[in-house]
Amino acid sequence: MTIHANPSPGGQSCGGYTAVSVTLTIQVRNDGCDIAAGSAQNDDGSFYYSYYSMAKPAELPTGESTTAVGWGSGTYQTVQQFRQILQGPWDHPFDGRQVTEVAGSDKSDSCFYDGAAQRGYKQFGVTGGWWIVGRYATPPSYPYSNYWIDDYVGMLTDLVTFYRDNGKAPCSAYAEQLMRICTNGQGCSFTQQYFRNYLTYSLDATNVTASRNGVYQSRVWP
């Protein structure tokens, strides 16, 4: 946003100062007004000032809800997709903000063993995903207010088969997931936690089960 002030009549003295036209430029970074950058300058070049100013504390979600939206395809047939809605004031949507996941310290994976590690498989856990709230498709559109899409929870089909073939089924795993929202405008160099929950996964000889935030989904596979 640019504001151009052009005093009339220009060039007149006021209290010993000559009034000149002034340009103010303000950029609000990130939806939610969590940081703003701006500058002010006299058009005759006699004054220039650039600054960063926090207009107010960053707005944070009060939580989020989780909905299961379906199993994946191909090697993701054993992975459930979950879709989240950020909770907060109805008149202050978080669309355009960025959320990210951080691994908590509480986790366990009874399926994993040395043989899986030797094959290059990893333990069940939080990978550090990053999402733009409300964004869907490329180029982005924002049809889902306060949604972030999608969190994939599970093990790929080849890993499920590997554990079954090597006598590990039944087994289960869980990981603590800490959700944080970016609060410094561009770059996400600073985030604040707004939610804590768990991701879980289990498998037996015929079924797999995935959950996020207490929402469970099971299926027979293959």
Q: How many other C-beta atoms are found inside a 10 Å radius of the C-beta of residue 123?
A: 14
Q: What pLDDT sits at residue 13?
A: 59
What is the percent of the chain with per-residue pLDDT over 70, rounded to a whole number?
A: 83
The whole-number average pLDDT for the span 36-40 is: 78
Q: Could you report the per-residue pLDDT of 175-195, keeping only the tens digit for each?
A: 999 999 988 655 677 899 999
- Taking CA atoms, 195 is separated from 52, 86, 125, 176, in Å, by 29, 10, 17, 11
What is the percent of the chain with per-residue pLDDT over 90, rounded to a whole number?
A: 58
Compute the half-sphere exposure of residue 157: CA atoms within 13 Å on the CB side of its CA: 11
The whole-number average pLDDT for the span 113-125 is: 97
The whole-number average pLDDT for the span 151-163 is: 98
CA–CA gap between residue 163 and residue 168 (Å, rounded): 5
Contacts of 72 (CB under 8 A, 6+ apart): 78, 79, 80, 81, 152
* pLDDT bracket for residue 167 (50, 70, 90): very high
Whether the per-residue pLDDT at 114 is higher than 80: the answer is: yes
- Taking CA atoms, 3 is separated from 8, 30, 43, 164, in Å, by 16, 20, 12, 66
Whether the per-residue pLDDT at 134 is higher than 70: the answer is: yes
Q: What pLDDT sits at residue 146?
A: 93
Of the listed ranges 57-66, 174-183, 194-203, the one predicted with least confidence: 57-66
Q: Could you report the per-residue pLDDT of 79-94, keeping only the tens digit for each?
A: 999 999 999 988 878 8
Spell out the domain ranges in the chain. Answer: 2-53, 63-220
Whether the per-residue pLDDT at 165 is higher than 90: the answer is: yes
**pTM of the predicted model as reported, rounded to 2 decimal places:** 0.79
Whether the per-residue pLDDT at 32 is higher than 60: the answer is: no
Contacts of 216 (CB under 8 A, 6+ apart): 209, 210
Contact (Cβ atoms closer than 8 angstroms) between residue 220 and residue 207: yes
Whether the per-residue pLDDT at 168 is higher than 90: the answer is: yes
Q: What pLDDT sits at residue 162?
A: 98
Q: What pLDDT sits at residue 125?
A: 97
Beta bridge partners of 19: none
* pLDDT bracket for residue 54 (50, 70, 90): low
Whether the per-residue pLDDT at 53 is higher than 80: the answer is: no
